[in-house]
């Protein structure tokens, strides 16, 4: 059964597993939020690049690997970096000095980012429930 | 005498051709790999030479060269010297250095000869976008071309997560008028910004200030991009990030692909990135002790941030 999961889901490839989830703020879904999963390679065995995702209108996201844009995230512990796509610097600007619009992500989550452990062999469900 | 005329039958010919084909097929990848290994070796030798030149600069002036000097506040303000120009006399380019008029901004048309000079020792042979004339993607370039190259200085931690991500840029050369940059996050070739008419805001580093140990401090590393060529490295265009990068603890900034990085979040860390096209994405760095070692995009970001600073006070096990 476990084997068939690995085969069907394709999560046996390398050291990655699928991750999908939803970002909510006070119970309401948050669209246009960028999610970065950055592995904490403290055990030096789960070496891997980070993953990224963007929430849709229902706050849902699927993570893609940073280097190949294929689905998944490195197995192991991650720091979850959330940022607001609507308030980031415009692509063609240099690092602006102008006052940045207020991000919808409460500041406390920047000071101590959430963590998430990606498990091998399953489709990981990352429910990121923020409170303001 | 009905002997067959001597020669090869079709089958014999096909067999021979097939064997030759298999041999070539086996050989070509090995040859290509050997050629890339040689290019990478030359690439690391160039880094070594730059590292030795920086150390000779330190011997002569008792301090490391400035990462870059940009006047005033972001954006489009005049820029001055940069580490790769400051060490020219130490890589036998004193004549070229003599063409630089430091009283004018480096992007001034009067300094075009310097900016457009092709510097083979600043070009990595594995980097197809090095050694070209392009107009950089941003800054006060006045649509003048500059020469691309492959190596950028390490200015420290530019953005950081532990408590500061997104709200606090750190050692970034566009933040000149911000409150003090956190001293424990500075790199060995950090910017020494100055506000018009004043002395440099931050002093250049000395060996004494590298309390993390010179073998644990990244000094110069590779950056190229396979997309958005005008965002690659320009060795003598010192405006913000074109010859000086900073570490952002996100692995998307180590991919040698500007557009891929920028599609995943804020684009400014992507402009201050490192990356190479070597196999495995190995990014070679010369450290402050003159040794050349690679790091990989899979590096632990805590280790990467520690390696990029001179005095963070971190202790960690170097993966090498």
pLDDT digits (tens, 9 = 90+) for B259-278: 999 999 888 888 989 999 99
- pLDDT band for B315, please (50, 70, 90 cuts): low
Interface of A with B in 14-53 (CB under 8 A): 34, 36, 38-42, 44, 47-50, 52
Give the dihedral sign, CA A21/A27/A29/A33.
negative
- pLDDT band for B229, please (50, 70, 90 cuts): very high
- Could you tell me which residues of chain B have a Cβ less than 8 Å from any Cβ in chain A? 73-76, 138-139, 161, 163-167, 169, 172, 174-175, 177, 240, 249-252, 254-255, 260, 262, 264-268, 271, 281, 296-303, 317, 319
Contact B161 A113 (CB under 8 A): yes
Domain count for chain B, please give it: 1
Over range B179-206, report the average pLDDT. Answer: 76
- Going by the DSSP 8-state scheme, the letter that residue B110 receives in this structure is G
Q: What pLDDT is recorded for position A6? A: 39
Q: In this model, does residue A7 exceed pLDDT 50?
A: no
Q: What pLDDT is recorded for position A112? A: 80
Q: Could you tell me if residue B4 is inside a domain?
A: no
Give the tokens for residue B165. Answer: 């991500």
Mutate to test the interface with A, among B71, B264, B269, B283 (most CBs of A within 10 A): B264
Fold classification of A10-130 (topology level): Immunoglobulin-like (2.60.40)
* Digit-coded pLDDT (tens) for B66-122: 998 877 666 777 888 999 999 999 999 999 999 999 999 999 999 999 999 999 999
Q: What pLDDT is recorded for position B311? A: 80
Contact A50 B260 (CB under 8 A): no
Mutate to test the interface with B, among A42, A54, A66 (most CBs of B within 10 A): A66
Contact B298 A47 (CB under 8 A): yes
Compute the mean pLDDT over every residue in chain B, rounded to the nearest whole number: 87
- pLDDT band for A4, please (50, 70, 90 cuts): very low
pTM of model > 0.90: no
Q: In this model, does residue A11 exceed pLDDT 50?
A: no
Q: In this model, does residue B209 exceed pLDDT 60?
A: yes
Q: In this model, does residue B8 exceed pLDDT 90?
A: no
Q: Are residues A109 and A82 in contact, defined by beta-carbon separation less than 8 angstroms?
A: yes
- pLDDT band for B178, please (50, 70, 90 cuts): low
Q: Residue B209 and residue B309: Cα distance in Å, rounded?
A: 11
- pLDDT band for A92, please (50, 70, 90 cuts): low
Q: Could you tell me if residue B1 is inside a domain?
A: no
Of the listed ranges B9-23, B27-41, B46-60, B168-182, the least confidently predicted one is: B168-182
Q: Residue B146 and residue B141: Cα distance in Å, rounded?
A: 9
Over range A6-32, report the average pLDDT. Answer: 76
Q: Could you tell me if residue B15 is inside a domain?
A: no
Domain that holds residue B80: 37-307
Of the listed ranges A10-24, B123-137, B254-268, the least confidently predicted one is: A10-24
Closest CA to B254 of B154, B171, B107: B154
Contact A38 B161 (CB under 8 A): yes
Mutate to test the interface with A, among B246, B248, B265, B295 (most CBs of A within 10 A): B265
- pLDDT band for B34, please (50, 70, 90 cuts): very high
- pLDDT band for B2, please (50, 70, 90 cuts): low
Residue B91 CB contacts under 8 Å (≥ 6 apart), including other chains: B49, B50, B53, B121
Q: Residue B157 and residue B189: Cα distance in Å, rounded?
A: 11
Contact A113 B169 (CB under 8 A): no
């Amino acid at each position: 059964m476990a084997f068939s999961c690995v085969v069907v889901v394709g999560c046996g490839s390398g050291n990655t597993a699928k991750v999908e989830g939803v970002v909510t703020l006070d119970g309401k879904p948050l669209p246009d939020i960028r999610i970065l999963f950055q592995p904490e390679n403290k055990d030096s065995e789960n070496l891997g690049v980070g993953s990224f995702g963007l929430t849709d209108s229902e706050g849902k996201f699927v993570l893609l690997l940073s280097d190949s844009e294929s689905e998944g995230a490195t197995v192991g512990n991650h720091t979850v970096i959330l940022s607001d796509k609507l308030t980031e610097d415009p692509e063609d600007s240099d690092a602006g000095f102008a006052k940045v619009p207020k991000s919808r992500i409460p500041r406390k989550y920047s000071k101590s980012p959430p963590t998430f452990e990606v498990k091998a062999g399953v489709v990981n469900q990352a429910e990121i429930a923020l409170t303001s | 005498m009905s002997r067959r005329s001597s020669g090869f039958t079709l089958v014999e010919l096909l067999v021979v051709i097939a064997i030759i084909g298999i041999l070539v097929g086996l050989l070509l990848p090995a040859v290509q790999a050997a050629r890339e290994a040689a290019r990478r070796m030359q690439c690391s030798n160039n880094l070594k030479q730059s590292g030795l030149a920086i150390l000779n600069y330190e011997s002569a002036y008792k301090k490391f060269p400035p990462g870059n000097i940009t006047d005033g506040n972001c954006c489009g303000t005049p820029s001055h010297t940069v580490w790769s120009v400051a060490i020219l006399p130490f890589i036998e380019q004193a004549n070229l250095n003599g063409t630089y008029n430091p009283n004018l901004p480096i992007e001034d048309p009067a300094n075009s000869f310097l900016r457009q000079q092709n510097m083979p020792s600043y070009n990595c042979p594995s980097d197809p976008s090095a050694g070209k004339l392009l107009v950089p993607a941003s800054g006060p370039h006045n649509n003048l071309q500059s020469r691309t190259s492959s190596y950028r200085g390490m200015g420290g931690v530019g953005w950081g997560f532990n408590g500061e991500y997104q709200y606090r840029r750190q050692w970034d050369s566009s933040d000149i008028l911000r409150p003090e940059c956190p001293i424990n996050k500075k790199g060995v070739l950090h910017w020494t910004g100055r506000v018009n008419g004043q002395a440099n805001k931050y002093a250049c580093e000395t060996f004494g200030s590298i309390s993390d140990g010179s073998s644990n401090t990244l000094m110069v590393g590779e950056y190229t991009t396979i997309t958005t060529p005008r965002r690659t490295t320009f060795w003598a265009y010192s405006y913000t990030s074109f010859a000086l990068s900073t570490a952002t603890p996100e692995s998307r900034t180590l991919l040698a692909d500007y557009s891929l990085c920028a599609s995943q979040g804020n684009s400014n860390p992507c402009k201050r990135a490192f990356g190479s096209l070597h196999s495995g994405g190995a990014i070679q760095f010369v450290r402050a002790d003159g040794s050349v070692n690679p790091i990989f995009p899979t590096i632990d970001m805590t280790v990467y941030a520690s390696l990029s600073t001179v005095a963070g006070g971190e202790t960690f096990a170097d993966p090498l």
